[in-house]
Amino acid sequence: MSAVSFGAHAEPPRARACSGVDYNAMILAIIRDLPTGGGYSLNASRIQLPTVTAQNIGGGHWEMKVYDGHPSHCTSAAYAVYARLAAVLHNGGNIRLSADQIRSLQVTMKMPDGTSLVDGQGAYGIFNANGAGVAALLKHTGTGMSFRDDKLSYARPGDFLKLFWNENVGASESGHQVIYTGRRVMAGRDMICFWGSQRQNRKKRAGGTEALYFPAAESGEVQDGYGEVCRPRGDVKAMVFSRVTCMEHLASGLEGMRAKSEANVKAPDVFVDDYLFALRKTSSDQATLDRMYDIAASPDSVANLAPAPPQ
């Protein structure tokens, strides 16, 4: 995340009220328009991160552009969708971001002076972190809320979803960041389906080995990279759903993050989530994760999960 250049005493813009937009439907429309495949990699030298740019179109207005990066990995793919959502809303006049706020959403692992950024630092570093990075970014920006829903009774297609393949949080966790698309029964087996970036492999199950992921469509196939797939519900040890509900808070949320970073004399150029930053090398637990990011347990309605405006 590049350093922002607001004046030291700039007042954050007033947060607009949430409009009741169906962001889940917008997210599903975005992923339907994205290409399939493109490759998957966890090799830092090979992965191509998404690109976010601010283009001056005159009259004090800026257009936000988002470009995919391939090969991708799970969080880079999910972040590209979140950034595209912000771009659609900003370019359509539904929200207004300054050039510096758009740049604060850039996907980068270095500051302008060459200093490396790591997980827990900046918008993308928060989103990309172990634990529940999406839940953290939605809380910091006030753009959504997060919850547990093991029975899948409240989750909706278009929710961001962190899947845990083990119970651990942090340095010892194994997980996958995706966008939930539904629950299905295939050949009598309960499946959880999602869009994301993944690599096909084999897994030991029921005394043998079989595909890690299954096609979401009957005539489809699993490709490495972008795509919708399903996985047996029994593979999942824990889940955190994150729902975008109030993108009108994004500008004031990003401004609040900038103001807090300026107040931090140790790291004045970038907002740091200390908990996520620590998870790079330490382990935590699901209960602490819930407390840190107001992750609700089995919610019954949207009303009791309205996101708080960014502070």
Per-residue pLDDT tens for 123-162?
A: 999 999 999 999 999 999 999 999 999 999 999 999 999 9
Provide the 3-class DSSP secondary structure of residue 170. Answer: strand
Q: What phi and psi values does residue 276 have, to the nearest 5 degrees?
A: -65, -35
What is the three-class DSSP state of 57?
Answer: strand
Residue 7 maps to a domain: no
Q: Is residue 301 part of a domain?
A: no
Same domain, 59 and 123: yes
Domain end residue (candidates: 239, 259, 274)? 239
Specify the number of domains making up the chain. Answer: 2
With 0-12 / 13-18 / 19 or more C-beta atoms within 10 angstroms meaning exposed / middle / buried, residue 18 is: middle
- pLDDT, residue 268, reads 66
Q: Which has the higher per-residue pLDDT, 131 or 302?
A: 131
Residues 84 and 131 in one domain: yes
- Predicted local confidence at residue 30, as pLDDT: 98
How many CB atoms are located within 10 Å of the residue 113 CB? 7
pLDDT beyond 80 at 310? no
* Shared-domain flag, residues 228 and 290: no
| Same structural domain, 41 and 175 | no
pLDDT in tens, 237-296: 999 999 999 999 999 999 999 999 988 766 667 899 999 999 999 999 999 999 999 999
Residue 67, domain extent? 23-146+245-294
67 belongs to a structural domain: yes
Average pLDDT over residues 92-113: 90
Q: Is the pLDDT of residue 190 over 60?
A: yes
Same domain, 76 and 220: no
Rounded Cα distance between 185 and 5, Å, is 51
Tens of pLDDT, residue by residue over 35-53, are 999 999 988 778 889 999 9
pLDDT at residue 111 tops 80: no
* CA atoms of 159 and 281, how far apart (whole Å): 28
Whether residues 136 and 267 fall in one domain: yes
Specify whether 254 is located in the same domain as 211. no
Judge if 34 and 135 occupy the same domain: yes
**DSSP state for residue 93 in the 8-state scheme:** T
Q: Is residue 58 part of a domain?
A: yes
Residue 4 has pLDDT above 60, yes or no: no
Are 34 and 106 contained in the same domain? yes
Q: Is residue 162 domain-shared with residue 219, that is, in the same domain?
A: yes
Q: What confidence score (pLDDT) does residue 54 get? A: 95
Residue 300 included in any domain: no
Q: Does residue 32 sit in the same domain as residue 137?
A: yes
> 284 and 180, same structural domain?
no
Model-level pTM?
A: 0.90
Is residue 14 one of the residues assigned to a domain?
no
